[in-house]
Amino acid sequence: MASPEATLSDFIATVTYEEVPERARETVRRAFLDTVGVTLAGALDDAGTTVFDMDDIDSSTASASTILGIGSARSPSDRALHTGTASHALDYDDLAWAMDGHPSVTLVPPTTRTRRGIRRQRRRPRDSVRCRVRDRMRTCRAD
């Protein structure tokens, strides 16, 4: 008998988009949009402007792609600090009680930064949704 970890890992590695329930796909889409919105709003909050100011970025005039770290020449750690702080500044993002945290804040920024890589591989947007569902399941499920 396989361990719970092995069973979950096998499921995550092999699940297809069609096998993901529509309710889960809708949750991912809603969480993604919510996180982008709260990040853009949080960039204008005191906490957000403080971290952007440290790198001479005026978050009140910066583009959405700059706020979200898309195409940024900044280091991954700088982008993580910027988007992570902005995402949490207003604390309106999703909450997963199973992990007592905000999974989209850690999952959405890397997804937006790999958008070009997904396009190059000719993946469809639903592949990104499938990956987010898998990431969220990996984060929140223990059985």
Q: Can you tell me which residue has the tokens 């949080």?
A: 42
Highest mean pLDDT: which of 47-51, 99-103, 105-109? 47-51
Q: Evaluate whether residue 72 is within a structural domain.
A: yes
Q: For the segment 57-74, what is each residue's pLDDT rounded down to a tens digit? A: 888 888 887 887 766 677
Q: Evaluate whether residue 1 is within a structural domain.
A: no
Structure-model confidence comparison of residues 98 and 30, the more confident one: 30
Domain tally, the chain: 1
Q: Evaluate whether residue 13 is within a structural domain.
A: no
What is the SS3 assignment for 14? helix
What is the mean predicted confidence (pLDDT) over 108-137? 57
Which pLDDT value is given to residue 83? 84
Q: Evaluate whether residue 7 is within a structural domain.
A: no
Quick one: what percent of the chain has pLDDT higher than 90? 1
> pLDDT at residue 138 above 70?
no
Q: For the segment 4-13, what is each residue's pLDDT rounded down to a tens digit? A: 888 888 887 8
Q: Evaluate whether residue 101 is within a structural domain.
A: yes
Q: Evaluate whether residue 15 is within a structural domain.
A: no
Q: Evaluate whether residue 125 is within a structural domain.
A: yes
Q: Evaluate whether residue 2 is within a structural domain.
A: no
Q: Rounded to an integer, what distance in angstroms lies between the CA atom of residue 32 and that of residue 129?
A: 9
Q: Which domain holds residue 56?
A: 22-140
How large is the greatest C-alpha to C-alpha distance in the chain, in angstroms?
57
Query: What is the per-residue DSSP string for 88-129?
Result: HHS--S--BTTTTB-HHHHHHHHHHHTHHHHHHTT--HHHHH
Structure-model confidence comparison of residues 88 and 76, the more confident one: 88
Structure-model confidence comparison of residues 96 and 80, the more confident one: 80
